Amino acid sequence: MANHSFLLPELIDAVFQHLPKWDLYRCSQVNREFNAHAIPFLYRVVEFYFHAPYLQQNAKTKENKVWRQFCRYPELLSYVHEILVEVIHNQYQIQDNIQIDVETTPCFEKRVEYILRQGRNVRTVKMRDFNRRVPQLGASHHLVEFGGHLVGLDVRMTRAAEHIFNVLADLERYREITLDLWNVKPQHIRLDGDQDFLLRLQDKSQVVNLSTTGFDSPSKCLLLQQFSKLHRLCLRDHIDTPTSETLDFETIFENTPLEYLQINVSNIESLPRTIQELRVGCDRVGKPQNFDSKDLAGSQPLTTSKRPCCDTRKDGNMAPVCFRIR
């Protein structure tokens, strides 16, 4: 294998795209040909974590190694397609009082800006705080030092997102972007929600794919009109429509080339006429849908769920569906 070229090199990419990073790393050491095919996949996603101390050292070490590679071989930046930023809370220390950690990634802003500017193929930004809704894992338990102040991980995440938005707005060339946001907003600062936070993005026409939490009412959905180039939209929160309001998606997206729409609703007036792929769910009020990163990539097979018992359905928290005629 080491001395002969692979007969079907196109198959290598087809296989490598499904491999985890550790396997890709090992494949990169097989021979020069495998190395050439594995490297682009190894650097396809650059990960940053704001996290609790028990993972800090390991993640920090990995991040520094990747950064050193970018500094030594700037051409690697052309392989970067996605920036992933996640908050990981320390669930094993939730009984403790407030914990103060040092800033986990003191160079985050500098590094992410460099990657966004030099990595011209970066198209996707994912920012996620999955544990925000778990009460005992409240972000206020974990503080980090940032800008000379102690802030919660939620605030740190918000600052990171604001910085990314600012860099995106300053990019020299227009770039179509996929935004995947999950609970990116500070808890203790009075904001209307994620949707208000999103509006700080100056050039909203950059965003062609959007997957986000926070849009849980018709009035908030109206704000999406500003994203005039949206092709795919996934709203993860249940949209609760009171009788006094209407959810008229046809009007909201009248001038938007929306092709894919994924919503969780109790009441809807109309849908965009341009829609080609539609996913509508009606779950309990306030329960976010458990969609993963494949949401924006395409359809997923319909999963079956356990037959619920009658008592569960008698729960007063159900969302009555009411589709109205215009």
200 touches 179 (CB < 8 A): no
Q: Which stretch binds another protein (CB under 8 A): 115-123, 188-196, 198-206, 302-310?
A: 302-310
Q: How far is the CB of 314 from another protein (least distance, A)?
A: 8
Q: How far is the CB of 222 from another protein (least distance, A)?
A: 19
Residues 200-259 that bind another protein (CB under 8 A): 250
Alpha carbon distance 193, 235 (integer Å): 13
Would you say 175 or 279 has its CB closer to another protein? Answer: 279
Would you say 72 or 314 has its CB closer to another protein? Answer: 314
| Encoded amino acid at 135, one letter | P
Q: Which of 308, 302, 296 is nearest to 259 (CA)?
A: 296
Under rule CB under 8 A, residue 283 binds another protein: yes
Alpha carbon distance 296, 78 (integer Å): 23
Alpha carbon distance 95, 88 (integer Å): 16
List the one residue from 271, 291, 295, 296 that touches another protein (CB under 8 A).
271
Under rule CB under 8 A, residue 5 binds another protein: no
Under rule CB under 8 A, residue 326 binds another protein: yes
For residue 271, CA distances in Å to 32, 51, 197, 249, 300 come to 52, 40, 25, 5, 21
Tokens standing for 63?
């991040």
Neighbours of 24 (CB within 10 A): 21
Would you say 3 or 304 has its CB closer to another protein? Answer: 304
Size of the site for another protein (CB under 8 A): 38
Q: How far is the CB of 318 from another protein (least distance, A)?
A: 5
List the one residue from 73, 278, 286, 297 that touches another protein (CB under 8 A).
278
Would you say 58 or 276 has its CB closer to another protein? Answer: 276
| Furthest CA-CA distance within the chain | 72
Would you say 118 or 274 has its CB closer to another protein? Answer: 274
Q: How far is the CB of 323 from another protein (least distance, A)?
A: 4
* Type and span of the H or E element at 55: helix 53-72
Under rule CB under 8 A, residue 310 binds another protein: yes
SS3 29: coil
Under rule CB under 8 A, residue 297 binds another protein: no
Q: How far is the CB of 292 from another protein (least distance, A)?
A: 14
For residue 216, CA distances in Å to 112, 146, 236, 265, 323 come to 30, 31, 9, 9, 17
Unique residue bearing structure tokens 């021979």? 31
Q: Which stretch binds another protein (CB under 8 A): 32-40, 67-75, 87-95, 273-281?
A: 273-281
Residues 32-71 that bind another protein (CB under 8 A): none
Outline where DSSP puts E strands in 66-132.
82-88, 99-101, 124-128
Task: Name the residues that contact another protein, by CB under 8 A.
Answer: 250, 268-283, 299, 301-308, 310, 313-314, 318-326
